[in-house]
């Protein structure tokens, strides 16, 4: 059973999230395969299924762009962005995830990793990005009322925002609880996530100054039931 959440201050919430995501990382070690089905050593995957769905082209075709990933985890997608010659900046709240990312990809030119909460990082950076993305990452786990304005502020006009997450359960919209099981404790850790339909995401993106939003639910890999919600929009201006 999950105990009702007592009110927390921002720092306390931050520490709880870091603990929860470190626990997730320890319970899901391994990271990405050495090669994908095409024999490539780096690749981009927006979905929860291997060798499935669109690739890095969703982020547009600007050469030598500055790209930011929010909640980069063990860094497989970010590594691919770096190998294409872009500046690839990854932010993740979990030191365990980032240690794994550094160990595997730390030597790649152009790749930079920061152990920070996404909102904290974006409030501190002076850099402006051509593309910002998140794959089942920080955008899913942060209130879009805070996240979307923060992203808009760090994007160059005309830049691409894209993110993927699980589609909502019908009728369960807005803030939901995600449970992360702990090895020696029957009480799971709880993190918040924000679930919306494609139409709801479209309205939120427009409300926060993003143009041409395209939000859709992609079909799952063969034999699976749950698809993937993929959103793409442009930052206004440019
Ligand atoms: C489900 S994992 C996905 C990781 C990675 N994007 C992937 O596709 O494998 C979610 C990741 O987002 C990170 N995360 C969650 N909330 C975050 C936040 N507010 N700021 C930064 N990272 C966050 C977690 O630490 C975790 O690594």
Q: Is the CB of 69 under 6 A from ligand 1?
A: no
Q: Please report which helix (H) or strand (E) contains residue 130, including its range.
A: strand 129-135
| Encoded tokens for 135 | 């794959």
Return the pLDDT at 121. Answer: 98
Return the pLDDT at 5. Answer: 40
CA of 94, closest atom in ligand 1: 25
Return the pLDDT at 3. Answer: 35
Beta bridge partners of 182: 185
Nearest CA residue ID for atom 8, ligand 1 = 135
- Chain centroid offset of residue 100 CA: 17
Structural domains in the chain? 10-235 (3.40.50.150)
Cα separation, 127 vs 145, in Å, equals 22
Neighbouring CB atoms inside 10 A of 167's CB total 18
Return the pLDDT at 9. Answer: 54
Ligand 1 center from residue 138 Cα (angstroms): 5
Q: Is the CB of 92 under 6 A from ligand 1?
A: yes
For 198-223, the pLDDT digits (tens) are 999 999 999 999 999 999 999 999 99
Ligand 1 center from residue 72 Cα (angstroms): 6
Ranges of the chain whose pLDDT falls below 70: 1-13, 15, 238
Cα separation, 11 vs 204, in Å, equals 27
């Amino acid at each position: 059973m999950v105990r009702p959440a007592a009110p927390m201050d921002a720092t306390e919430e931050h520490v709880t999230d870091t603990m929860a995501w470190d626990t997730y990382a320890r319970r899901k070690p391994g990271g990405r395969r050495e090669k994908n089905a095409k024999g490539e050593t780096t690749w981009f995957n927006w979905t929860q299924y291997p060798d499935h769905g669109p690739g890095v082209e969703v982020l547009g075709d600007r050469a030598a762009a500055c790209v930011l990933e929010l909640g980069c985890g063990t860094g497989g997608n970010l590594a691919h962005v770096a190998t294409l010659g872009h500046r690839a900046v990854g932010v993740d709240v979990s030191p365990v995830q980032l240690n794994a990312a550094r160990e595997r990809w730390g030597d790649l030119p152009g790749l930079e990793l920061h152990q920070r909460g996404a909102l904290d990082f974006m409030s501190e950076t002076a850099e402006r990005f051509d593309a910002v993305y998140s794959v089942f990452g920080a955008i899913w786990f942060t209130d879009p009322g805070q996240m979307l304005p923060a992203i808009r502020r760090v994007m160059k006009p005309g830049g691409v925002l894209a993110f993927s997450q699980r589609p909502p359960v019908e009728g369960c919209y807005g803030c939901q609880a995600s449970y992360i099981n702990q090895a020696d404790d029957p009480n799971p850790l709880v993190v918040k996530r924000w679930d919306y339909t494609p139409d709801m995401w479209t309205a939120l993106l427009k409300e926060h100054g993003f143009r041409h939003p395209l939000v859709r639910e992609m079909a799952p890999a063969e034999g699976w039931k749950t698809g993937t919600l993929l959103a793409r929009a442009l930052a206004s201006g440019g």
